[in-house]
Structure 1
Amino acid sequence: MNNLFYCNRVKVRNKGRIDAPFRLSSRDTTIGRCFSFCPEEGVLPSGACQNVEVIFCSHTLGTFTEDLLLTVTGRPQPLTVTFRCVVPAIVVETPVLNFQRCFLDHRYEQKVQLTNTGPLPACYGVLDQEYEESPSLLIGSSTPTGMIRPHSSEEFPVFLLAKAVGLYASLCLAASSHPRSWEVCALWSVNHCFCPMGV
């Protein structure tokens, strides 16, 4: 999965009576090295405020907390700005799709239900499947992306198209996400494809 960039803003205000040179930085940790700032430093006049862009780029999945450091000249200890990343609580209510018997080159469709049990909105997307040059089974969705509101459920369709006779158990991957995190879940599809006998 490619790195994703997220940008937020920190408002810095000088309540003192003199100009305040400042610098915003992060700790030398795995997550801390994923941050950059614009501007990284500057001078804030007395009574003024300024927005500093905080840019975060990481391919690491999970929930974590990181403290950013705001150093002000003349202040013995830096101020801390806490950055939090959370993973939405997504439950796959339909982990297995049983298509049973299917005919060759006929498209079949079933619904998958996802529930967002957390307090934050989450979006989902069916990931592109990797196929061989001549795949025996095609799986996808006509509406591969969507949004789930907090404490609610959504359904999306998954279609199956068999290109060869056989018994299949295939894996379909879906990604659920909050704007600052991604989590991958799996959906299994089971079907028996056969070719009808001619008269």
Structure 2
Amino acid sequence: LINKGPLDAPFTFVPSSSHMAYCFKFAPRRGILAPGERQTIQISFKATLLGTIYEEFQFSVAGSPIPVILLIKGCVDGPNLHLNVEQIDFGDIAFGVPHTKTFRLTNTSPVSVTFKLRIPDDGSGPAVTCYEQMRNNTDPSWRKGIHFYVEPKEFTMTPSRGTILPQGSQDIEVTLCSNTVMEYYRYILVDVEGIGEGLLALNVMGRCIVPKLKAYPYILCYDECHLKEPYERKFLVVNNTPIPGCYGLIAQKRKEDTPVFYSSPKPCGIVPPFSVAEIPVILEAQKAGEYSTNVL
């Protein structure tokens, strides 16, 4: 502001009521200029709206019927984010086995962009991996299946939020640990801080199935055994499917009158696709006689 008159000029900034005007701040907002004096006004701008800027700002001058008008023009563009893939397809996956895919989020904007990723239809409870189940073959889930009080969060994104510098990019891992036998059709939504939600959407699909494992032979014969002496036989678990399968030899429920005890040093494991696992079973007779028992 320049006072070109012969008198002191008290000035005051006149606020505007437009939505875009609220993005601007002026300092100082008032003062007195002596004749010939200059006053530098600092203008701060933080965009909260997208679109064209065409704003008139006024400074009233005491004793003058005509305000001083400042016109500001410009344009606020949204962030330019791009995905390097159109979709993520996990294909056929095994129940409880985590699978990971990656994609890249690129920022071609001249400013940094802070993002957050989310999948609206995902649950919030902890998902259970087969590796956690394998730690304990006495877990009731081996007999009754996994039951959730809260729907599990089956998708994990790393990182799920962050800031990408101008002309920078971020590689993101998406891990699906399915606890539901179903087909998946979900979307990863990209929210941008200060701009909006769901600016980008990435389709995610896949199908969770349980492979059919087979045991050979069906009957293990231990022939003659001495009381309280351990005897070992082995059987095979065969996986003829293209996905890994998790097996668990359910712990025996023993009672005082149980005639035969059985156990395994490898009660749980994973059989890779088109592979065979060898499972040892140790039997110990507790009573004399001929017995048979089911190993589950």
Q: TM-score, normalised by structure 2?
A: 0.50
Q: Which moved more, 1:150-159 or 1:93-102?
A: 150-159
1:69 aligns with 2:60: no
Deviations 1:6-30 (A, max 9, x none): xxxxxxxx332633412142354xx
Structure-2 change in CA distance of 1:153 and 1:167 (3 Å)? same
In the other structure, the counterpart of 1:191 is: 206
Deviations 1:19-43 (A, max 9, x none): 3412142354xx3475575779422
Q: Measure, in 2, the Cα distance between the counterparts of 1:27 and 1:84.
A: 19
1:167 aligns with 2:183: yes
SS of the aligned residue for 1:154 comes to strand
Structure-2 change in CA distance of 1:122 and 1:140 (3 Å)? same
Deviations 1:109-146 (A, max 9, x none): 21111233333332322136354574376223121123
Offset of residue 150 of structure 1: 3.2
In the other structure, the counterpart of 1:10 is: none
SS of the aligned residue for 1:162 comes to coil
Q: Measure, in 2, the Cα distance between the counterparts of 1:111 and 1:68.
A: 48
In the other structure, the counterpart of 2:83 is: 92
1:16 aligns with 2:3: yes
Could you tell me which runs of 5 or more consecutive residues in structure 2 were left unpaired when the two chains were aligned.
124-148, 215-296
In the other structure, the counterpart of 1:5 is: none
SS of the aligned residue for 1:105 comes to coil
In the other structure, the counterpart of 1:7 is: none
Aligned residues of 1:106 and 1:162 also touching (Cα < 8 A): yes
Aligned residues of 1:114 and 1:153 also touching (Cα < 8 A): yes
Structure-2 change in CA distance of 1:130 and 1:168 (3 Å)? closer
Q: Measure, in 1, the Cα distance between the counterparts of 2:69 and 2:43.
A: 16
More strand by share: 1
Q: Measure, in 2, the Cα distance between the counterparts of 1:85 and 1:67.
A: 13
CA RMSD of aligned residues (A): 3.3
Q: Measure, in 2, the Cα distance between the counterparts of 1:55 and 1:117.
A: 20
In the other structure, the counterpart of 2:248 is: none
2:16 to 16, 26, 46: 26
In the other structure, the counterpart of 1:114 is: 105
Q: Measure, in 2, the Cα distance between the counterparts of 1:68 and 1:103.
A: 62
SS of the aligned residue for 2:154 comes to strand
Could you tell me which runs of 5 or more consecutive residues in structure 1 were left unpaired when the two chains were aligned.
1-13
1:43 aligns with 2:31: yes
Aligned residues of 2:186 and 2:203 also touching (Cα < 8 A): yes
SS of the aligned residue for 2:211 comes to coil
Offset of residue 161 of structure 1: 2.0
Q: TM-score, normalised by structure 1?
A: 0.69
What letter is aligned with 1:196?
P
Structure-2 change in CA distance of 1:27 and 1:191 (3 Å)? same
Offset of residue 84 of structure 1: 4.0
Q: Which moved more, 1:95-104 or 1:80-89?
A: 80-89
Q: Measure, in 1, the Cα distance between the counterparts of 2:14 and 2:84.
A: 44
Aligned residues of 1:135 and 1:163 also touching (Cα < 8 A): no
SS of the aligned residue for 2:206 comes to strand
Structure-2 change in CA distance of 1:197 and 1:154 (3 Å)? same
Q: Measure, in 1, the Cα distance between the counterparts of 2:32 and 2:191.
A: 43
Deviations 1:54-79 (A, max 9, x none): 676x5x6x433241413231354511
SS of the aligned residue for 1:26 comes to coil
Percent identical residues: 13
SS of the aligned residue for 2:15 comes to strand
Structure ranking higher on relative contact order (CA contacts 8 Å, 6+ apart):
1
